[in-house]
Structure 1
Amino acid sequence: MIQLLGEFDCKLDAKGRLSVPSSLKKQLPDVERDGLVINRGFEKHLVIYPKRVWEQIVADLSSLNPYEKKNRDFIRFFTRGATDLSLDAAGRILLPRALTDFAGIGNEVVLACQLDKIEVWDKQAYDGLFDDEPENFANLAEEVMGNKARGAHGA
């Protein structure tokens, strides 16, 4: 299972290319061979998936009943804009213009690793997320994770 860590401030060049930070690239050893997939996120951001992770998502989507309208709608909305990415010789990826427009991404972005995927946010939008941080994060943690069995990683 892939577990990505880190938050990276980056800039897009004039052509919309993003240089993948070397410390992130090290966490993706098969990226040059396998590639990546970028897609719309649930909020106004983009998500980059290692190809293996995307293939598992597609397998999950394929198991949905296609005769149910909500399933078809979800698949359409979820996969809309999904695009293969590959690193060029300089270690850059070209972010599709339609996707960056959707997410309101300017030339400053944050790559925020979230378990097995990388969220791509406009820097100002990402910083703004934390202006709305819950007043009591401990209460949110209890609400979201409180029903889980206590493991060795409890804080």
Structure 2
Amino acid sequence: MFLGTHAPKLDEKGRIILPAKFRDELASGVVLTRGQERCVYVFSQRGFEEQHERIRQAPLTSRAARDYLRLFLSGASAEVPDKQNRVTIPANLRAYAGLERDLTVIGAGDRAEIWDTEAWNAYYAEKEEAFANTEEEVIPGLF
């Protein structure tokens, strides 16, 4: 499970050092793809396959499902961490998420997310109050 908030830097070659807490789960390979809210999703190979299988359950006749699957998969890139635990973020994903040098990597349960730090801070500031005021109807059975 991916948890926590980390602040790595993007190097001049577009690489990121994976947070130490994520390395065991990602050692055999990662899949990077477009995330919602203009971040990059980071899945373990197994996690990506599970996510893909869930998406495939949607009917082929659903335009929204087809659109989502196309964008999700067309941006995907399988990577293997190097000996220094670095992963290259492809240029198209860096551009999509507006990634510069300062990054924020968050654990989001079944995946990690890579955010430009300014974008993450803005998102967090906007959503924190709603999070604090979450009621049962938002996530049934949570409280």
Query: TM-score, normalization: structure 2?
Result: 0.89
- Whichever residue aligns with residue 15 of structure 2, its letter is R
The equivalent of 1:153 in structure 2 is none
Do the aligned residues in 1 keep the contact of 2:136 with 2:142 (CA within 8 Å)? no
1:148 aligned to 2:141?
A: yes
1:32 aligned to 2:23?
A: no
Cα RMSD after superposing both structures: 1.8
1:123 aligned to 2:117?
A: yes
Alignment of 1:79-90 (within 5 A): 79-90=73-84
- SS of aligned partner of 2:84: coil
Query: TM-score, normalization: structure 1?
Result: 0.82
- SS of aligned partner of 1:133: helix
**Greater radius of gyration (CA):** 1
1:49 aligned to 2:43?
A: yes
The equivalent of 1:77 in structure 2 is 71
Q: Deviations over 1:10-33 (max 9, x none)?
A: 10110011111223324x2xx323
Unaligned 5+ runs, structure 2: none
Unaligned 5+ runs, structure 1: 151-155
- Give the 3 Å change call, closer, same or farther, for CA 65–92 of structure 1 in structure 2: same
1:94 aligned to 2:88?
A: yes
The equivalent of 2:8 in structure 1 is 10
Do the aligned residues in 2 keep the contact of 1:87 with 1:93 (CA within 8 Å)? yes
- Whichever residue aligns with residue 64 of structure 1, its letter is A
The equivalent of 2:106 in structure 1 is 112
